[in-house]
Amino acid sequence: MNNGLDDVVATETVMSDVDGLAGRLVIRGHSLDDLAGRHRYDEVVALLLAGFFEDLPGEQELAPRLGAARAEVFDALVPASAGLGQLPVTEALRAAMAPLADGEDLATALRLIAAPAVLVPALIRQRRGQQPVAPEAGAGHAADILRMLHGKAAAHEAAAALDTYLVTVSDHGLNASTFTARVVASTHAGLVSAILAALSALKGPLHGGAPGPVLDMLDGIGAPEEAEAWLEASLDKGERLMGFGHRIYRVRDPRAEALKRSVRALVAGGEQTEGRLALAEAVEAAATRILARRKPDRPLQINVEFYTALLLEALGFPRESFTGVFAMGRVAGWIGHAREQTLYGRLIRPQSRYVGPRPEQAA
C-alpha cells in the first residue's frame, strides 16, 4: 500500500512530463526553457488545449476569443462578486466562479480561463475599496490582467514577466489539483465542476499556498548579512524554510530559474528593487549551504514558489492573492487534463484496504 501514491502511475497523458532527477519539465513536447519568456500565455493555452476541442482556433485567432471571454465573464460575474470582498481571495474566487454553467465545449473552457484573470484583480480592488476595471478584449491576456489590477496600462517588462509566470505554472504533471480535476472529470460532471474542485485542492497550504510565506521569511531576515543566522535559528526550532524542497525534484526546480530571470528583467526595468533581489539571492545561497550540511541525504533546492514570491510582489499582487494568481496560469492545464480524461479515460475508482474494527462473528 502506498499512502501518498508516490511513484504510482495513474494515467497516460500528452500534457506534461516532470523529470525530477534531471530537473526538466516538458509541456506538450516543448521544454520549459523553449516556452517561458519566449511565448505568451495565449499561445501556450492553444498548445495545452490542442486536440481536445474540434473547434479550437489557431494561436492568432485564440487571443481575441479569450479577450471576448474576459469581457463576457466581467459582465456576468463581477457585479455579483461585490459581496465577496471580505472572504480570502481564493475562497472568493471559488464562490464567484460557481455560477458558471457546466459544459464540455470550448466556450466553457475559455470562460474558465478568463474567470480568474478577471476576478482576482476585481476582488483585490474591491478589498481595497476600489471599483473593478473592465477588461480590454483586444489586449494580451497578461497585460490585461495587470491593467485590470492597477487601472492603467502595464509596462512591457511587467506584462512579459506575468506572461512568463503564467506559462511556467501552466501545467506540471499529476499534482494534487490536477489529479483532482481528472477525478471529477472522470465522472463526466463537466469542466466547471472539475476546475472548481481543482481550485479547492490548490487552496491547501501544502499545494498552492507557500509563495506568500516566502515573503514573510524575507521580511523576517531583513538584510543579506542576517540570512545565515536567521535560517540556522529557524531550523533549530524545527521550522520549515519556505520555498525550498519539492516532492518530485531532487535537483533545482527548472521553473525557479525561469522566474529568477524574469525577476532580474523586472529589476532592469525598474519594476523591482535590486535590494530585494540581492536579499533573496543571499537567502538562497545561505539556505542551500545550510540544508546541504544538515540534510546531506535529502537534496533540498529552491522550488517554484521562491522567486514566484518576488515576481508577484513586484507586479503589485498582495501576498494573500498569490494562490489565485497561480490559478490564472494553471487553469489551462487543468482543462487540458480534464478533457483528456473525459475523452480517453475511465471513471477513476481506486481500491482501499480496510483496517478498522470488524463486527464480532456469530458463535
Burial class from Cβ neighbours inside 10 Å (0-12, 13-18, 19+) for residue 74 reads: buried
Strand duo 24-27 + 30-31: pairing: antiparallel
Active site (annotated) includes residue 172: no
Query: Could you give the CA distance from residue 82 to residue 97 in angstroms, rounded to a whole number?
Result: 13
Q: Which amino acid is at 60?
A: Q
Grid cell 509596462 — which residue? 155
Active site (annotated) includes residue 305: yes
Q: Which of 305, 313, 337, 340 is catalytic?
A: 305
Angle made by CA atoms 64, 29, 259, in degrees to the nearest 5: 70
| Cell numbers linked to 350 | 481506486
Query: Could you give the CA distance from residue 277 to residue 313 in angstroms, rounded to a whole number?
Result: 11
DSSP 276-306: HHHHHHHHHHHHHHHHHHH-TTS---B-HHH
Inter-CA distances, 91 with 123, 203, 346, Å? 11, 8, 30
Q: Which of 141, 172, 246, 337 is catalytic?
A: 246
* Residues noted as catalytic: 246, 305
